[in-house]
Amino acid sequence: MLWLSALLLVAQLSAAKPLNSKRWTDLSVKHAWVEIPRGWEYHSAPPADHLLDMRIGLKQDKIDQLISSLYEVSDPAHEKYGKHLSKEEVDALVAPHPDSVDAVESWLEHHGINPADAHFRSTAGEWVTIRVSVAQAEQMLNTKYGVYYHPASGSQVVRTMGYSLPTELHSHVDVISPTTYFGTMHSMRATSFVLPQTATGDEDSFAAEISPLAVPASCGTTITPACLRALYNTTNYVPKATATNKLGITGYLEEFANDADLQTFFKQFRTDAVGETFTHVQVNGGLNTQSDPGVEANLDIQYSLGIAAPTTATFWSTGGSPPFKADTFTTTNTNEPYLDWLNFVLNQTTVTQTISTSYGDDEQTVPLDYATSVCNMFAQLGARGTTLLFSSGDEGVGGGNCEANDGTNKVEFQPAFPASCPFVTAVGGTRSVNPEVAINFSGGGFSRYFAQPSYQTASVQPFLTALGTKFTGLFNASGRAYPDVAAQATGFQVVIGGRVSSVAGTSCSAPTVAGVIALLNDFLISQGKAPLGFINPLIYSTAKTGFNDIVSGSNPACGQAGFTAAAGWDPVTGLGTPDFLRLQALIG
């Protein structure tokens, strides 16, 4: 009897194995490129035993409810306005369904991987990281990995031109990385650049305060904190909630914000802030050597605090070295933008109320599944009460020759991501004073990935109506429109290695607006009110008049004249530049 039972059991297992195997061998493509992403070239095959940290993004079971909640707490007309969600409430909405967990874990076990050995799990369980060899990854994803080289930045990455998953898993998995997203922080564009050195006059005079009613013509070419505080009406506001209100700057590319340079900056341009500091936080191998200070990092921290000091500030240094070294057998960071930092900050019990980021890339170079997953993570931060500001880019309506990467080589305006995500606030650029005008490199346009959110339709439609048939076929008129707002973007006096350099780019604009938003949050928090959080529904409605409308200038690119700034919203400067006093009255 025992022998017969064992025989029956063997027969049952033999019969079941092909069925179980078929479950995981019925594969369909998740994402694939038709050509190597522009700027990259195939270099070589990686060693089969090279280790990858494979991130699996599981479907978030109640993501629609999360987004609904985000809009409720962000809409000034809704009864839940300002009632931001806790970490636990957000985790409950983004946690994967048990069926998704079971399916993914069964798939891993089929490939000999114990789910309990996961290298990382987010607290909600929607992100799981496993450590696998290239050979294992190729088998799991029915693909071939390659080492690809980016000559412009010197980056080498291990990526694939396409990958597949078992058909059953498509309804349970949002994205797998590293796979088809070739972007790294080294290959992405930091949205700032140093201007040729010109005579700037007596630097000591820059520290003098300027009357908000009389911004001098010199601010049209040489920007200091005094210029911005006068232009945007923050000069006389004194922060009160500095123990609670927080401002954050994200740093990548092995750039570090330098402590000594900040003090030099304050001594020259904001003497009342001398001695104010910020906290360094290193994420996933980020460094803080205080050597070779970065233009981007110093610009961001100096000008956000140049407006918002003495607000508590944090600079996150997120690891960003090239992830592949052919002669080194070691586990390496996949170095994909945002995921390391997002998983870190979302794991914190409390969130920073205002965060500025000055990096971006062409939307079409980011796989839709990856872009959607990252955008939804920004929604989590917004639901918890964070205002996320992103520079809109320095490529006007599109970078390079603007050719589509779908094999057609069709010339189209190229929107930028993450600026095109509807859950962030994109910041374009201006120049000059009395009046301000759009700067010609200000990134702006319409997403091809994300639909136009209802909060901006009433503002965007008049622009589209006036535009008529101009540029037909070059952009997606039904897409998320950006930028949302703007600020000065050239002539910023930045201390780098003890010396003052003049810097331009929408990297100047984003931390400037972040400084203004941080002061508005200070005002609210000091009154016992909730911070602004995701501001787009507010600024497109009851706070619309809190901005200085920019009505001239354009953003040419792609061999086209680009869009033109106009009365009301436009895809060069958005709603315009912020006026702190007007906004303070509108939100008070």
Catalytic residues: 296, 300, 507
Residue 338: other Cβ atoms inside 10 A = 21
Length of the chain in terms of residues written: 588
The helix (H) or strand (E) run that includes residue 587 is helix 580-587
Question: How many Cα atoms within 13 Å fall on the side-chain side of residue 560?
Answer: 24
Position 586, amino acid: L
CA torsion angle 172 174 176 182 (round to 10): 160
Residue 129: other Cβ atoms inside 10 A = 18
Q: Which residues are annotated as a binding site?
A: 549-550, 568, 570
d(CA 415, CA 396) in angstroms, rounded, equals: 9
d(CA 310, CA 483) in angstroms, rounded, equals: 28
Q: What is the largest CA-CA distance in the chain?
A: 100
Q: What is the DSSP letter of 8?
A: H
d(CA 316, CA 331) in angstroms, rounded, equals: 23
Residue 531: other Cβ atoms inside 10 A = 26
Residue owning tokens 């490939």 = 111
Q: Which of 572, 576, 505 is nearest to 547 (CA)?
A: 576
345: tokens are 């900050």
Is-contact 282 288, C-beta < 8 A?
yes
Q: Which residues are annotated as a binding site for Ca(2+)?
A: 549-550, 568, 570
Helix %, strand %, coil % for the chain, to 5? 35, 25, 45
Residue 122: exposure state from Cβ atoms within 10 A (0-12, 13-18, ≥19): buried
